Amino acid sequence: MAPERKSLTLPVSRNRGSVLHTRLHQLGSLENAHTINHTYSHADSDASLLEANISTEVCLTVLDTLSVFIMGFKAQLCADLGHNPLMKKVFQVLLCFLQIPQSETALKQVFTSLRTFIYKFPCTFFDGRADMCACLCYEILKCCNSKLSSIRSDAAHLLYFLMKSNFEYNGRKSFVRTHLQVVIAVSQLIADVIGIGGTRFQQSLSIINNCANSDKAVKHTAFPSDVKDLTKRIRTVLMATEQMKEHEKDPEMLVDLQYSLAKSYTSTPELRKTWLDSMAKIHSKNGDLNVLRTCGSTGMFRQGCCAFRVITPNIDEEAAMMEDVGMQDVHFNEEVLMELLEACADGLWKAERYELISDIYKLIIPIYEQRRDFEKLAHLYDTLHRAYTKVMEVMHSGKRLLGTFFRGFFEDEDGKEYIYKEPKFTPLSEISQRLLKLYSDKFGQDNVKMIQDSGRVNPKDLEAKFAYIQVTHVTPYLEEKELEERKTDFERSHNIRRFVFETPFTESGKRHGGVEEQCKRRTVLTTTHCFPYVKKRIAVMYQQHTDLSPIEVAIDEMSGKVAELRALCAASEVDMIRLQLKLQGSISVQVNAGPLAYARAFLDDACAKRYPDNKVKQLKEVFRQFVDACGQALAVNERLIKEDQHEYHDEMKASYKDLARELSNIMHEQISAVEGGTKSSLSDSLHIFNAISGTPTGTTLHGMPSSTSSV
C-alpha cells in the first residue's frame, strides 16, 4: 500500500472526488499491467493482491464515512449517555473490523479510529451499562494475542488508552469499569478456548505495564500500581485455568473446573456469571438442555434468593455471594433483570420444563403490570397458555423424557462416586462406552477396565496397575410421603437428590438363585445438590444400604406389580400395549415363574413356617391387592379392546381365574376373581371398616362373605 494511505482516517479534510479517482486509477492499472505471457500462478497472485487492496480500501472508506457521520450526528449519538440504538449501530460497525480479519494496514487505521471514538464518547464506555466496554475489551484482548507483533503492540496501546481514559473519567481515582471488564474478557477467552496465555499475550501485558510506568502524566498517581495489579490478576487467572486445556475433551471435568473457578468469584458476581455462562455454552453444545442454570440479580427482589427457591433449592448457595468494591460499577437495573429472566424462561422452554415457566413469569408480570405494558403482558400470557397446553400434551402422551441417571464409580479418583444426568433416554451401554473411551484416551487403552456388575467394589480385589470404572443405572428415590406430594412425572424428576439401585445376591455367594434364596441389596445414594444443576454430574455425599431377605424381595416385587397395574389403569389415556404385556406376565400360572412362584415359595404351609409371621401376613395382603389390581386391569382391557382381540381377552380372563383358584388353594382362603372391576372399591371399604372396628378381615358384613381372611 502507498504511504499516503495512512492519512485516510479522521477527519476527512480533502477533495473526496480526486482521491477516489486516484484510487480507482491505481486499482485499474494493476489489471492493465497483465500480459498474455504471465503464468497462471503470477496472474493468480496479482488477483489476490487486487482483492487485498480492494478489501483494505473498503475498510478505509467506511472509516472515513463513519468519521463524517459522527461529526454530523454527535448530539444524537450522545443521547442517554451514549446508550441508544444509533450509537449501538455505529459501534457495531467499528467493532466488526476487529471481529472480521483485516490487513495490517487496515487494522492500524481501525485502532486509530477507535482511539478517537473513545476520546469523543467516554460516557458510552465508562457510564451506564457496561455492554460496549465489555465487547471492546474482549476484541482488543484477542488482538493482543495476534501473531503480528505490530498488531499486538497497537492493541496493547489501545487497551492502555482505554484504561487511562477510564481513570481520567473517574477523576483520577480508579478505572474499575475497565479493570473488571478486562478480567471478565480474559475469562471468556479462556472459556472459549481461544488459546491465550502464551508468550505473545504475555508480551502484550508487558507493553501495557511499560506504558503505565513510563507515562509521566500519571506517574504520581495510583494508576501505575493499579495497572500492575490488573496484569498480575490476569496472569493468576491464566495460571489457574491451565488445567482446562488438558480436559478439553472431558466435558464433565471441564465444567467441574469452570465451576470451581466460578465459586472462587463469589465476591464478584459479574465474574461468576461469566463462568456460569461459559458452562451453559458447554452444556448447550453437548445437547444437555436440561441442565438448569440460574442467573440474574436476585437483589432486585425484596425476598432475594427465596424468589427462585421454588424453581431450585440450589439457589441457596447464591445467598452466600458477597459484593466487592468492583460491584459499584456493575450496572444492574430492572431492564437488565427482565432480559435475564426472559432468557431463563426461553431456556426452560427449550429444556421442555414447561411447568417452571409460570414461576419465572410470576416475577416478571407484576413489573409489566406496574408499567402498563399490555403488549408484553399479552405476550407473556400467550406463552403461559402455550406452556400449559404443552404440559397437558406431554402428560397425555408420556413422550417427554427428562433425562436418565447413572452412578459412576472411579477407582483412580480414590473411589469417588458421581451421579450423571444424561439427555432424554440414554442407554447404559452408551454412557459406559463414552466413559471407557474417555479414560482410555487419558490413561491408555490397556490400563482401563470396566467393572461389569453393580455390586460393591472391594479395593483389595483390584489390581493396582489398572484404572477401574463402574457404571450403574439408577432411578430417583422418593419415599411414600414424597410420592403423595409429587403426583406428576415432572415433579418426580425435578429437584431430586436421592437415587436408588438394586443388586441381586444370594447367601451362597451367587448373584442369582431360586426365589426362596434370592436376596437383593438396595442402595440409596444422596448427592450434594439437587438435579437439575449447573453441572450434569454431582458428587455422592453419602449412601445407605438395605439388604432384603427372600420374602422381603417377594413383597417388594409384588408391591411393584400392583403399583404398575394401578398406574396403567388410572392413566387418562391407557397404554393398551403396556397394559396387556403387564397383565400377561402377571396372571401366568407357570410353576417356576411369575407371582405364583412367590406364593408357592413363601405362603405354602410347608414353607411359611420358616419366615416371620408379620412378613407372611404382609405378603398375603399384597397378593390380595394384586388380584384386585389384575381384575381392574382386565376390566379396562375388556372395555377398550377391539373386536379382533376378544378371543385373546378371554384367554387372559381364564388365566386370571386359574390364578385366583391357585392362590386360594395356597393361602387356604377364598380369593375371588374380580368381575368387571367392581370388587376393588368394595374390598377397600371392607378393609377400612375392619381396620376401624378391629374386626378380623375374614369375617362377614351383612351376610356378605369377604374375599379375604385373617392370617
Give the contacts of 300 (CB within 8 A, at least 6 positions apart): 332, 334, 337
Taking CB atoms within 8 Å and a gap of at least 24, the contacts of 255-259 are 255/279, 255/282, 255/283, 255/534, 255/535, 255/536, 256/535, 256/537, 258/191, 258/282, 259/534, 259/535
Residues 6+ apart with CB under 8 A from 408: 417, 418, 419, 420, 435, 469, 470, 471, 537
Angle between helices 374-397 and 334-350 (to 10 degrees): 20
Phi, psi of 473 (to 5 degrees): -75, 130
Could you tell me the pLDDT band of residue 589, with boundaries at 50, 70 and 90?
Answer: low
Q: Which long-range contacts (CB under 8 A, 24 or more apart) does 179-182 make?
A: 179/226, 179/230, 179/326, 180/130, 180/268, 180/270, 180/271, 180/326, 180/329, 180/330, 181/130, 181/133, 181/134, 181/137, 182/137, 182/141, 182/230, 182/234
Least confident of 187-191, 226-230, 365-369, 631-635: 187-191
Fold of 292-397: 1.25.40
Q: What is the mean pLDDT of residues 121-141?
A: 90
Amino acid letter, 335 = E
CA distances to 338, 367, 391 from 361, in Å? 10, 10, 16
- How many other CB atoms are there within 10 angstroms of residue 20's CB atom? 12
Going by the DSSP 8-state scheme, the letter that residue 241 receives in this structure is T
pLDDT, tens only, 4-54: 444 344 444 334 444 444 444 544 444 444 444 444 456 667 777 888 888
Give buried/exposed letters for 371-380 (b at 16+ CB in 10 A, else e): eeeeebbeeb
Q: Is residue 635 scored above 50 in pLDDT?
A: yes
Give per-residue pLDDT as tens, 52-94. 888 899 999 999 999 999 999 999 999 888 889 999 999 999 9
Q: According to the model, what pLDDT value does residue 290 have?
A: 57
CB 687, CB 697: distance < 8 Å: yes
Query: By the 8 A CB rule, do 706 and 699 touch?
Result: yes
Question: Which whole-number Å values give the CA distances from 558 to 439, 597, 605, 627, 630, in the listed order?
Answer: 41, 11, 20, 11, 12
Q: What phi, psi does 84 have (nearest 5°)?
A: -145, 160
Identify which of 542, 531, 539, 536 has the alpha carbon closest to the alpha carbon of residue 314: 531
Q: What is the DSSP string of 285-309?
A: HTT-TT-----S-GGGSTTGGGGGT
Indicate the burial class of 434 (C-beta count within 10 angstroms; 0-12, 13-18, 19 or more). middle
Q: CA-CA distance, 281 to 284, in Å (whole number)?
A: 5
What CATH superfamily is the domain 556-674?
DOCK DHR2 domain, lobe C (1.20.58.740)
Q: What is the per-residue pLDDT for 176?
A: 86
Predicted local distance difference test score (pLDDT) of residue 384: 96
SS3 content of the chain, % helix, strand, coil (to 5): 65, 10, 30
Distance separating alpha carbons of residues 137 and 155, to the nearest angstrom: 10
Instruction: Round to whole Å and give the CA distance between 195 and 192.
Output: 8
| 364 neighbors 380 (Cβ within 8 angstroms) | yes
Which cell is 390 given?
Answer: 404443552
SS3 assignment, position 83: coil
Residue with C-alpha cell 439427555?
423
For residues 511 and 283, the model is more confident at 511
Determine the Cα–Cα distance for residues 328 and 123; give it in Å rounded to an integer: 16
465 and 426 Cβ atoms separated by less than 8 Å: no
The pLDDT of residue 315 is 78
CB half-sphere exposure, 596, CA atoms < 13 A:
21
Domain boundaries, the chain: 51-247, 292-397, 404-548, 556-674
Is the distance from CB of 196 to CB of 187 less than 8 angstroms? Answer: no
Which of 321-325, 443-447, 536-540 bottoms out in mean pLDDT, i.e. has the lowest? 321-325
pLDDT in tens, 90-128: 999 999 999 988 888 999 999 999 999 999 999 999 988
What pLDDT does 321 receive? 56
Selection from 21-35, 137-151, 277-291, 578-592 with the highest mean pLDDT: 137-151
Res. 355: pLDDT tops 80: yes
Strand partners, 496: 531
> Quick one: which of 20, 12, 207, 17 has its CA closest to 109?
12
Q: What is the pLDDT of residues 188-247, one digit of tens each?
A: 787 665 567 678 888 999 999 999 999 999 988 999 999 998 888 888 777 766 667 677
Using the predicted structure, report yes or no on whether residue 480 has a pLDDT greater than 50: yes
State the pLDDT at residue 232.
86
* CA 668 from centre of chain: 56
